């Protein structure tokens, strides 16, 4: 047995070509194992684990091609290495053999109608290719991984400022105007639009929609990091806005691994602002409710597809409110029941941000001073901070009445949420004190909305109906459960200001799909097989992969 290698300095081939080369070598007589990789640190470690790393290969640079053959004898190894060029020449079998430009700029001239650039170049080069695409005013599908977080944020901000879209990095799946990008299933066209930070999640949901007889308008991938706090869901926000304007989209599905709470709240507010029914599947994240206004929460990928189909059947649905939405104002919740406060906070944190409490679910929600609310606040007035030396607020309204006046006087407050808990041991007639105080406040501030969750039965000593009637007469909107109250609040608060950035043109999602492919050649072949127009760029690392030389070349180009 013998191991021989061949090093080709600065010779770049994409991973699909190298995979095909490796398979070709393994099929040769006498070859026991083979490896064909760019000599990055990670790839050298893989060769070592496979027993294929030679001393010469270990010294190769990241821009060098390393081909290693383990064979039964010297003759077999030499013969295999001599066939490398022949095997590489077959790499384009089955792919259109027309001339491929060597630059992105040349590809744009060859296919000017292409509004998309698919990039699957190695991560350390991909960001610069994406910048070039954005400078040429093209949307980017960035399949490449190993792109830095800083580059991702910069690219998405550039795109946002130009009314362009960057899907990725590490975006594995999208379906644009009926054409699958990356790893996508062939599904029928339809009226369900999707936004996904999970590539396989998009595949699972779109496939299930197809199996259920439905179809997809657009499936916009964002890349796995988009919903992290550092990125702030830039692409997801753009995608929701696009689907909100898209007449072909009647139901929207949002799928992701759990985002940060603040990002989730802003994103769900943006989803509600589209005016369309929304299905949300934050995988592995306990949903705050089954339904919050137009938001419908799924607990699995298949259920997300099923709910979307159900909504589609009834979606002559229009976005209606009894009143104008409450914008640029805050909610203050004043609870006597700790569990009611907790359940309300659990549900409302999904749509209101920032939100604070003296009994927080997450440490970031902890209210610094329980005596002073800020932003959206849910207070449990039965906590120790408030009950030392006084009766529990279920028995004594004095503290709540004082806090009610304090919150109403805050010009930033647009809604106050109360619970009124009846039953044995509770205040004998809470409405007799709450209703006059609320009526007086509303005379001074008629725009203030007051919501009450009344908990009790017809047999309670306080007389449930009389309590409800008196509160209603004072201008209170009464609900009998936290779920109903929270649904009302979710429909009323839309703290989603209009974007200051230009909108992404819907032409990119309605015109016949055309794209430029940079990187994995099979993606180009996939586009052609789906009936789309595509030009493949014969891309090579700038300056042969020499980063210092590439930086000099880039500066020279910038001066032209």
Q: Please report the DSSP string for 283-330 in residue order.
A: TTS--S-SEETTEEE-SSHHHHHHHHHHHHHT-------SS--B-S-E
Q: Is 30 exposed, middle or buried (0-12, 13-18, 19+ CB in 10 A)?
A: middle
Tens of pLDDT, residues 410-435:
999 999 999 999 999 999 999 999 99
What value does the CA radius of gyration of the chain take, rounded to a whole number of Å? 30
Instruction: Choose between 124 and 281: higher pLDDT.
Output: 281
Least confident of 101-105, 134-138, 149-153, 369-373: 101-105
Q: HSE of 343 in the Cβ direction (CA atoms, 13 Å)?
A: 16
How are beta strands 330-335 and 65-71 bridged, if at all?
Answer: unpaired
> Does domain 330-492 bear CATH number 3.40.50.261?
yes
The two three-digit tokens of residue 68, written as one number: 């290693």
Whether 219 contacts 510, CB under 8 Å: no
Query: How far apart are alpha carbons 315 and 293 in whole angstroms?
Result: 14
pLDDT score for 41? 85
Instruction: Choose between 104 and 17: higher pLDDT.
Output: 104
pLDDT above 70 as % of the chain: 91
Please state the rounded mean pLDDT for residues 374-393: 89
Domain extent listing, the chain: 2-89, 99-170+511-560, 172-319, 330-492
pTM for this structure? 0.77
Residue 328 — pLDDT band, cuts 50, 70, 90? low
Q: Is 477 exposed, middle or buried (0-12, 13-18, 19+ CB in 10 A)?
A: middle
H or E stretch covering 475: none
**Do the domains 330-492 and 172-319 match in fold?**
yes
Kindly provide the b/e burial profile for residues 255-271, where b requires at least 16 CB atoms within 10 angstroms of the residue's own CB: bbeebbbebbbbbbbbb
Range 99-170+511-560: architecture per CATH: 3-Layer(aba) Sandwich (3.40)
pLDDT score for 261? 79
pLDDT score for 315? 54
User: Is 512's pLDDT higher than 50?
Assistant: yes
Whether 174 contacts 191, CB under 8 Å: no
CATH number attached to the domain at 2-89: 3.30.1360
- Give the domain 172-319 fold: Rossmann fold (3.40.50)
Tens of pLDDT, residues 37-92:
888 888 889 899 999 999 999 988 877 889 999 999 999 999 999 999 888 876 54
Instruction: Choose between 127 and 323: higher pLDDT.
Output: 127
Instruction: Choose between 231 and 313: higher pLDDT.
Output: 231
Residues 354/356/361/363 CA torsion (nearest 10 deg): 90
pLDDT score for 259? 86
Nearest CA among 395, 400, 405 for reference residue 380: 400
Least confident of 194-203, 392-401, 474-483, 550-559: 550-559
Instruction: Choose between 474 and 61: higher pLDDT.
Output: 474
pLDDT score for 280? 96
Nearest CA among 158, 451, 435, 190 for reference residue 309: 190
pLDDT score for 19? 86
SS3 state at 195: strand
Tens of pLDDT, residues 151-207:
999 999 999 999 999 999 999 999 999 999 999 999 999 999 999 998 899 999 999
């Amino acid at each position: 047995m013998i191991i021989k290698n061949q090093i080709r300095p600065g010779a770049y081939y994409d991973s699909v070509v190298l995979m095909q080369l490796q398979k070709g070598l393994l099929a040769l007589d006498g070859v026991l194992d083979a490896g064909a990789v760019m000599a990055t640190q990670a790839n050298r470690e893989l060769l070592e684990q496979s027993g294929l790393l030679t001393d010469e290969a270990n010294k190769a640079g990241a821009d060098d091609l390393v081909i290693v053959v383990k064979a039964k004898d010297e003759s077999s190894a030499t013969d295999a290495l001599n066939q490398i060029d022949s095997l590489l020449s077959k790499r384009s079998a089955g792919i259109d053999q027309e001339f491929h430009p060597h630059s992105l700029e040349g590809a744009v001239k060859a296919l000017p109608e292409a509004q998309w650039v698919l990039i699957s170049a190695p991560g350390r080069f991909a960001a610069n290719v994406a910048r070039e695409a954005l400078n040429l005013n093209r949307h980017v599908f960035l399949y490449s991984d190993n792109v830095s977080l800083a580059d991702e944020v910069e690219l998405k901000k550039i795109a946002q400022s130009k009314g362009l879209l960057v899907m990725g990095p590490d975006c594995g799946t999208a379906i644009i105007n009926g054409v699958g990008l990356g790893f996508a299933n062939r599904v029928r066209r339809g009226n369900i639009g999707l936004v996904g930070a999970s590539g396989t999640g998009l595949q699972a949901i779109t496939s299930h929609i197809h199996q259920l007889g439905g179809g997809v308008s657009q499936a916009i991938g964002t890349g796995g990091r988009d919903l992290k706090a550092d990125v702030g869901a830039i692409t997801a926000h753009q995608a929701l806005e696009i689907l909100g304007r898209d007449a072909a989209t009647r139901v929207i599905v949002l799928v992701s691994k759990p985002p940060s709470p603040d990002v989730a709240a802003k994103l769900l507010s943006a989803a509600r602002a589209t005016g369309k029914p929304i299905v949300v599947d934050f995988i592995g994240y306990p949903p705050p409710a089954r339904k919050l206004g137009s938001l419908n929460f799924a607990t699995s990928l298949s259920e997300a597809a099923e709910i979307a189909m159900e909504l589609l059947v009834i979606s002559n649905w229009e976005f209606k409110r009894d009143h104008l939405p409450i914008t640029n104002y805050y909610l203050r919740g004043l609870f006597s029941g700790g569990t009611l406060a907790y359940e309300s906070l659990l549900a409302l944190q999904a749509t209101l941000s920032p939100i604070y409490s003296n009994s927080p679910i997450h440490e970031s929600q902890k209210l610094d001073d329980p005596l002073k609310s800020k932003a959206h606040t849910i207070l449990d007035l039965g906590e120790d901070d408030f009950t030392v030396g006084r009766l529990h607020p279920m028995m004594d309204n004095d503290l709540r009445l004082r806090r009610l006046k304090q919150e109403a006087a805050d010009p930033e407050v647009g809604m106050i949420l109360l619970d009124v808990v009846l039953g044995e041991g509770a205040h004998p007639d809470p409405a007799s004190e709450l209703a006059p105080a609320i009526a007086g406040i509303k005379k001074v501030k008629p725009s203030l909305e007051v919501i009450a969750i009344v908990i009790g039965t017809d047999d309670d000593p306080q007389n449930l109906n009389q309590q409800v009637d008196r509160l209603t007469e004072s201008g209170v909107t009464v609900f009998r459960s936290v779920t109903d109250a929270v649904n009302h609040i979710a429909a009323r608060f839309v703290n989603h200001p209009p974007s200051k950035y230009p909108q992404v043109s819907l032409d990119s999602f309605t015109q016949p799909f055309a794209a430029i492919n940079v990187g994995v050649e099979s993606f180009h072949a996939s586009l052609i097989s789906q009936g789309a127009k595509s030009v493949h760029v014969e891309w090579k690392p700038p300056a042969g992969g020499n980063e210092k030389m590439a930086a000099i070349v880039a500066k020279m180009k910038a001066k032209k």
